[in-house]
Structure 1
Amino acid sequence: MRTRTCISAILALPLLLSGCLFGGSDRDERPARVTPRASGPVSLPSRPSAETRQCYADLGRDRIEYRTLPDRDYGGGCLVIGAVQLLDIGVPVANLKSMRCPLARAFTGWVRGGVAPAALQMLGSELVRVESMGTYSCRGIVGGGAGSAGRISQHGLANAVDVAVFVLRDGRRVSIEDGWNGSPQERAFLRTIRASACKRFTTVLSPDYNSAHYNHLHLDLGGKAFCR
């Protein structure tokens, strides 16, 4: 019995270590249950941190149009604090709602400094639109294991964005779903912008990570650095 217990512990060690190393972001496949407040969000006193105030200044300097959003507690651990809604970053982006300001700053820098130049240089056409699958969503980490039970997704903190499609001036729509294993040009472009994202975001998840990300790039500023 003692030998069997030791063997079980050894076999379980990689799983335990993976839970420690990769906790904090959306890295599995089934959402943990989170229950937001049934009565709706509660407004919080708005006291922007020094980091948030600097972020506002950075967006203004870069001529990004945005509006600040009130701090709110949605219950179940879901919070929107120091968030903005991007209105105009120079390239239209669909489905953007609440984003913590540092996430908005990183996303803007990635689209303008990473995606747009890569589209022109590698695909020969100007980037005219980005289609996201959203930002804030009050839910748990996408994962059904005991280690993720009850833990809030970075989406539940307005600290993540999922990106699905890049539209070019010549009419092409380069999607993660179809282009990840598409033409050589599309494959190279999408992997280049993933590499660019890994320099700006803490966590970047693509179809190479798991089947839950077959149709989008997940980008967030939470947890530990992870790019795949």
Structure 2
Amino acid sequence: MRRLHLIVRRILILAVILFLLLLAFGWLRQRPQDLPWTPLDLSQPVGLFTGRKLAALTQQPASCKALLDSAGVDHVALHPGGSGQCRYSDAVRLRSDRDAIALSPASVAPSCPVAAALKLWEWHVVQPAAQRFYGQPVRGIRHFGSYSCRRLYGRSQGDFSEHATADAIDIAAFVLRDGRRISIVSDWKGQGKDAAFLREVRDGACDLFSTVLSPDYNAAHRDHFHLDQAERGATGWRACR
């Protein structure tokens, strides 16, 4: 009798496991962005592996530009430029239409993977947060630039910054439709709505960029978010501070 109870128990456990697997399979079929092997689709919401797929675009420049095209992102691909440690090969300039957030200055040209992550950040993080906190969209993002041939923190020695290959952009402020400006240098500290908005969009960026550095990281980032798609190879580690 004891052996029969043991067999029945095992059958019940297997049945529960099978049921849970079927539930998980059905849920994942509705969310392909949560599967590591499905191709990246910029029209889909952010999933568990979206950040990894965006980072992989650093090795797939043609695929990246095709993704921007398929998502209807208006952009201009720039010719390769720079040299040595400061060479870039896949920079794109985003052109704003009536519904898109305008980058200011508009001449900025980050790498394609950074541009793709920026669009997903705009669609699925920044604008939803702006609607929740302010009841209106963001119409502009002020930045400190993307490409800059320099080493980390402007040092004379050591590793080069991701800015040296246009794989980064520094975000300084957000401008709402009514003209109100929320800036990182002025509004990061405190417990108010502006600080909460900035932290929410910072946290959302962590799901899309390889590196996100904010005023919580160090004094050098007191006035901006550093967002990059660093080419870290097989390790693929991510930083969010």
Secondary structure of 1:150's partner?
coil
- Conserved 8 A contact 1:80-1:98: no
The question of whether the paired residues in 2 share the 8 Å contact of 1:202 and 1:225 is answered with yes
SS at match of 2:60: helix
> What's the counterpart of residue 164 of structure 2?
156
User: Partner residue of 1:125?
Assistant: 136
Matched AA of 2:121: W
Deviation at 1:143, TM superposition (A): 6.5
Which protein has the bigger strand share? Answer: 1
2:119 aligned with 1:108: yes
Residue 62 of structure 1 corresponds to 71
The residue aligned with 1:185 is 193
- Answering whether residue 105 of structure 2 is matched by residue 92 of structure 1, we say no
Q: Give the % identical residues.
A: 39
1:60 and 1:122 map into 2 onto residues whose CA distance is 31
Say which SS state the counterpart of residue 167 (structure 1) adopts: strand
Q: 1:79–1:181: structure 2 CA closer, same or farther, 3 Å change rule?
A: same
Q: Secondary structure at the match of 2:153?
A: coil
Distance 1:179 1:110 in 2: 20
Alignment correspondent of 2:205: 197
- 1:156-198 CA deviation, whole Å, 9 max, x = no partner? 0100000011011222100001110145111111111011000
Moved more, 174-183 or 195-204: 174-183
Deviating 4+ runs (over 6 angstroms): none
Give structure 2 stretches of 5+ with no counterpart. Answer: 1-57
TM-score scaled by structure 2?
0.68
Task: Measure, in 2, the Cα distance between the counterparts of 1:50 and 1:142.
Answer: 25
Aligned-pair CA distance for 1:50? 7.3
Q: Which residue of the partner structure matches residue 182 of structure 2? A: 174
1:119-145: CA deviations, max 9, x gaps?
Answer: 11122222111111110001001165x
For residue 150 of structure 2, what is the aligned residue in structure 1?
139
- Counterpart Cα distance in 1 of 2:86 and 2:224: 23
- Give the TM-score normalised by structure 1: 0.72
| Number of corresponding residues | 176
| Paired amino acid for 2:65 | Y
Residue identity opposite 1:201 in structure 2:
F
User: Partner letter of residue 136 of structure 2?
Assistant: S
The structural deviation recorded for 1:57 is 1.2
Higher relative contact order (CA 8 A, sep 6+): 1
Structure 1: segments with no counterpart, 5+ residues: 1-48
Q: Which residue of 2 aligns with 1:13?
A: none
Measured in 2, the distance between the counterparts of 1:136 and 1:186 equals: 28
Secondary structure of the corresponding residue to residue 174 of structure 1: strand
